[in-house]
Structure 1
Amino acid sequence: MALMNFEFFSETLSLASEVNVVFSQRSKKQLGSDHKSPVLYLLHGLSDNHSAWLRKSSIERYAEEYDLTIVMPAVHRSFYRNTYSGYRYFDYVAHELPELCKTYLQISKSPSDTFVAGLSMGGYGAFKLALTHPEQYAAAASLSGALDLASLVHQKDELFPEWPHIFGPDQNVEASEDDLLHLASERKKEGVSLPKLYQCCGTEDYLYLANQSFLSHSQKIGLPLTYEEGPGEHVWSYWDVQIQKVLEWLPIRKLEKEGSSPDTDSKAPAS
């Protein structure tokens, strides 16, 4: 397994930035040194950073089984938005970061090999990226995502004290570009091809009702969505299990184990 810490200056943010990158070295041995792997942009939650998935889950060990490069950026407490205070985090994750990764990492440039997933704030970010730029992603997954921001406004002072700096002084997200329900409706009206969507949330999670709201709206407008729920709180023990299910759900190749015969049951052909 390979772990890289990629440090660079972001022109979009005017800020020194870094991402963690993991990939299986087996992919090069089995598929060739020139092979370009699919990529998953894996997003952190509100109080974490680019190291959270590595420190609090076993994502590095799980990734070893797949032909997949996982990129984990840091966006601070931005909600993956171009914030009112001026930091263009959405543009950074949606545009600059992928271009940098395509330049410096051996990853596929095809949207059919590009995925995004995240937990909590990162689940919101993953769906916002997929619904805003559906042409860039083949699939997106939300784990306990804050998927209905409008329903959380009454909790903003407690949970999100920086809300005005992110969303602006009027603090209104309903029917805006930050409202995932609105974005989903707009994409359906346009009839554009959407990425595959996967949503899960624990039934004891404080964001369960926000997830139910997005699920209900998706069903109402006919938005294709794979949904799963079960016992679980807003904790890493839940997300560590669910990210394994996300990897199984993604259309990616499962690698042969060292010393084994070729795997005839791989889920996807080499890109």
Structure 2
Amino acid sequence: MAHLKVNYFSNALLKDCQMDVLLPQKTSDTPNWNKEVLNDLPVIYLMHGMSDDNTAWLRKTRLERLIKSTPVAVILPNADLSWYSDTSYGMNYYDDIAVELPKVIQQFFPQISTKREKNFLVGTSMGGYGAYKIALSTNNFSYAASLSGAFNPRGTNKILDSFRSQAYWNGVINKRDDFANSPDNLKHLVEQKMALHEQFPNFYAWCGKQDFLYDDNLDFVNFLKQRNIPITDKFTNGKHDWYYWDKFLEDVLEWLPISYLPEERLC
């Protein structure tokens, strides 16, 4: 894989931003990768969590090694502490990542597919929430996976709420005092999509039973199932930790509709 660090100007944020990009590169280990394979590439937008940045997945998981034999592009944007939202203080991170970034990717990397069936979102914690939020509020992504997704930022999860001040939460979560109608409420986005008779993406959710977000994950997964929305869910022992996210990253790669080729393991 080729690893590119990209600085670009965001019109949504009116500032310079950063992202990491992984692109498949033909080498002696991938002799069958021809021009046809390396054009119209499927792409994974890999979203980071609340305490991380765009480098976290590269530093804390086996990501690059796992996909070294798979023709797929990976985009790792930086969402800061935004909850992938257009905040009340004027920083439009949702517009930056959900709307503008795919256009920037198309401009810089025309070999990456713009087809819905080849565009995917994956995230952990805040990034899992962001992956679902963008998948539900646009029609550009066909698969969305979450690992320990922070699906419920309305203020009832006391551990999550304790991480930052109320001033912060009121700034990043719109209409937090009227969360039922908030554009940042995943259940509200589901109901809107159902009312518009739009196609839902395929969802994947993993969360550990010892994770402080377990109850929120179970609640949202059941919410989707009750509405016959496709979701693959796995709840195992585990905590809110990179050990588990790294472990289940490979499960996500096997679930996505890509030509994932696992590394050879003799033991």
Normalized against structure 2, the TM-score is what? Answer: 0.89
1:239 paired residue number: 245
The DSSP-based 3-state class of the residue aligned with 1:152 is coil
Number of residue pairs the alignment of both structures matches: 257
On the 8 A contact 2:175/2:182 being kept in 1, the answer is no
CA displacement at 1:67 relative to structure 2? 1.3
Q: Which moved more, 1:114-123 or 1:61-70?
A: 61-70
Q: Deviations over 1:150-195 (max 9, x none)?
A: 3636456512321122135864423321111121122223321111
CA displacement at 1:210 relative to structure 2? 0.6
Q: Please give the alpha-carbon distance, in whole angstroms, between the structure 1 residues aligned to 2:197 and 2:69.
A: 36
2:48 paired residue number: 44
Structure 1: gaps spanning 5 or more residues = 259-271
- Where does 1:111-260 land on structure 2 (aligned, <5 Å)? 111-133=116-138, 135-150=139-154, 152=156, 154-155=158-159, 157-161=161-165, 162-167=168-173, 171-254=177-260
Could you tell me which amino acid in structure 2 is paired with residue 196 of structure 1? N
Query: Is 1:78–2:91 an aligned residue pair?
Result: no
On the 8 A contact 1:22/1:63 being kept in 2, the answer is no
CA displacement at 1:128 relative to structure 2? 0.3
Q: Deviations over 1:30-81 (max 9, x none)?
A: 1317623111100000010000000011111112131110000001100000
Q: Please give the alpha-carbon distance, in whole angstroms, between the structure 2 residues aligned to 1:96 and 1:204.
A: 37
On the 8 A contact 1:156/1:163 being kept in 2, the answer is no
Q: Deviations over 1:232-263 (max 9, x none)?
A: 100000000111111111101235989xxxxx
1:53 paired residue number: 57
The 1:164/1:24 distance shift into structure 2, 3 A limit, reads same
On the 8 A contact 1:57/1:240 being kept in 2, the answer is yes
Query: Is 1:22–2:27 an aligned residue pair?
Result: no
The 1:30/1:217 distance shift into structure 2, 3 A limit, reads same
Give me the CA root mean square deviation: 2.1
The DSSP-based 3-state class of the residue aligned with 1:117 is strand
CA displacement at 1:110 relative to structure 2? 1.0
Q: Please give the alpha-carbon distance, in whole angstroms, between the structure 1 residues aligned to 2:99 and 2:175.
A: 27
Structure 2: gaps spanning 5 or more residues = none
Could you tell me which amino acid in structure 1 is paired with residue 5 of structure 2? N
The 1:231/1:155 distance shift into structure 2, 3 A limit, reads closer
Could you tell me which amino acid in structure 2 is paired with residue 114 of structure 1? N
Could you tell me which amino acid in structure 1 is paired with residue 79 of structure 2? V
Q: Please give the alpha-carbon distance, in whole angstroms, between the structure 2 residues aligned to 1:232 and 1:54.
A: 21
The DSSP-based 3-state class of the residue aligned with 1:159 is coil
The 1:208/1:61 distance shift into structure 2, 3 A limit, reads same
The 1:169/1:182 distance shift into structure 2, 3 A limit, reads closer
Could you tell me which amino acid in structure 2 is paired with residue 31 of structure 1? N
Q: Deviations over 1:108-166 (max 9, x none)?
A: 12111111110000000000001111x20111111100112236364565123211221
2:10 paired residue number: 10
Could you tell me which amino acid in structure 2 is paired with residue 228 of structure 1? K
The 1:200/1:23 distance shift into structure 2, 3 A limit, reads same
Q: Which moved more, 1:31-40 or 1:101-110?
A: 31-40
On the 8 A contact 1:75/1:89 being kept in 2, the answer is yes
On the 8 A contact 2:159/2:212 being kept in 1, the answer is no
The 1:5/1:214 distance shift into structure 2, 3 A limit, reads same
Normalized against structure 1, the TM-score is what? Answer: 0.88
The 1:156/1:174 distance shift into structure 2, 3 A limit, reads farther
On the 8 A contact 1:197/1:226 being kept in 2, the answer is yes
